[in-house]
Amino acid sequence: MYKKKPLFIVFEGVEGCGKSFQSKKLYKKLKKNKIQTILTREPGGTKSAELIRNLILKDYFKKTAKEKFNKYTDTLLYLAARNEHVLNKIKPALKKKNVVICDRFIDSTIAYQVFGKKVKYNFIKSIHNQILGNLKPDLTFVLKVSAKSSIKRLSKRKTKNRYDNFPQSFYKKAQTSFIKIAKNKKNYFILDSSENNNLLEKKIFEITAKYLKIS
């Protein structure tokens, strides 16, 4: 029998890996099993954090390089959005013993800002110490995708944000970073999502069910 308990689940991976699709599938499956669950995303998740998200995304498409945010300004905006999100959505939901499924979290910041843009890790770590406290995901799914599948999925998107327009070389580097972060960590699961089929959906639910102690 299911005993209500908080669980913080995060989906990580590059664009076109299917993390948004799979996080929605898991959310629906848990709701069907009468488990109180919320589905959220980063950057965003709350009204104020979504405003910051829009600001970051719009800035990227400005024509002149001089107008773009400095990489540290950009990172601070992501962290400001995270602070709002954690404070007003994630922590209150976990306090109510809900399951929280989040599309991206701190590993995306490490993969894109630290490994990608060479922002100093300690800069981000010190801010995380302040805004996260003891909060960390209980379970992280890193979805690994082939370049072919990623390109195919991105080409079908009607609306694209800044991350959907990066070259494949960037995604390859970012994916390597996600796998490096996940390596040898017991609460991380690296799953191939190139097919993004029912088998993957089933595997994700089985792992989650084990953590929740449900059948």
Strands (E), 62-187: 99-103, 139-144
Angle at 142 between CA 191 and CA 35, to 5 degrees: 90
Domains of the chain: 7-212 (3.40.50.300)
18: left (phi over 0), alpha (psi -120 to 50) or beta: left
CA distance 30 to 15: 24
pTM: 0.89
CA distance 102 to 10: 5
pLDDT in tens, 157-191: 556 555 556 666 777 888 899 999 999 999 999 99
CA distance 9 to 140: 6
pLDDT for residue 159: 60
pLDDT for residue 155: 60
pLDDT for residue 169: 75
Is residue 102 a contact partner of residue 90, using CB atoms and an 8 Å limit? yes
pLDDT for residue 21: 92
Least confident of 12-26, 70-84, 92-106, 158-172: 158-172
In single-letter form, the type of residue at position 169 comes to S
pLDDT for residue 65: 58
- Per-residue pLDDT band for 152 (boundaries 50, 70, 90) equals low
